[in-house]
A and B are shown apart, each in its own frame.
Chain A
């Protein structure tokens, strides 16, 4: 398995509280991504990073922010969690080049009550 660690693996939080999810990689890959997975929707891209301090929005970025201060860490923050952000969050990594593939972490199950 690719060296991707997501933390925490499970979290229950209250509406309106801030939440930060962490993705840590040991592969030194350039790109990192945050996806959310909801029943019937597959995976949807929230934000991604193409280098340290270089990030961009994905399809469903509203209500989320990200930061990447080191190659190995990509943080996803929900500034004020809402029930609609209850989901399973996956981090992924990929390297640059035409023949690379994406590797996914094990996921973080977040419940906002």
Chain B
């Protein structure tokens, strides 16, 4: 089955700096890669996703890049703000079943004011 590895497990940055979280996957059949943000006491919420026919996607301060050959994808957050502090999860799935995903173990991001 699919295996997703996520690094780092914790990340601390100063407000205004950039943050980068990296994930690798093992199954070349995976073609959908969502990123979720989870705040304390809440369920994960999708912040950005990318499909295998696209190399990069951007949404305001958040961007995701995908390298299918190397089987890795990354989340980039620019101009970080204290409200970006949360746990971030990458995931990988196959087909059109968006919720049937294998998740990474999460990255706890802390943005210091």
Given A101-B49, A102-B46, A105-B43, does the pair A45, B97 have CB atoms closer than 8 Å? no
B96, CB-defined interface residue at 8 Å: yes
Which of A12-20, A76-84, A90-98 interfaces with chain B?
A90-98
B43 interface neighbour in A41, A94, A101, A106, Cβ under 8 Å: A106
A103 to B102: give the CA distance in the assembly, Å. Answer: 15
The answer to whether A43 touches B103 (Cβ under 8 A) is yes
The answer to whether B99 touches A41 (Cβ under 8 A) is no
Q: How far is the CB of A104 from chain B (nearest CB, A)?
A: 3
Q: How far is the CB of A1 from chain B (nearest CB, A)?
A: 9
The answer to whether A33 touches B42 (Cβ under 8 A) is no
The answer to whether B100 touches A90 (Cβ under 8 A) is no
Chain B residues whose C-beta falls within 8 Å of the C-beta of A90 in the assembled complex: 43-44
A59 to B100: give the CA distance in the assembly, Å. Answer: 10
B101, CB-defined interface residue at 8 Å: yes
Chain A residues whose C-beta falls within 8 Å of the C-beta of B34 in the assembled complex: 101-102
A31 to B6: give the CA distance in the assembly, Å. Answer: 26
A92 interface neighbour in B41, B89, B99, Cβ under 8 Å: B99
Chain B residues whose C-beta falls within 8 Å of the C-beta of A33 in the assembled complex: 99-100
Top 5 nearest A-B pairs (CB, nearest first) are A104-B43, A102-B99, A42-B103, A94-B99, A94-B98
Further 11 A-B residue pairs, CB within 8 A, beyond A42-B104, A92-B43, A101-B34: A31-B99, A42-B6, A43-B44, A43-B89, A43-B91, A45-B102, A50-B97, A101-B49, A101-B98, A104-B45, A107-B42
Binding site for A on B (CB under 8 A): 1, 6, 34, 36, 41-46, 49, 51, 89, 91, 96-106
Binding site for B on A (CB under 8 A): 31-33, 40-45, 48, 50, 58-59, 90, 92-94, 96-98, 100-107
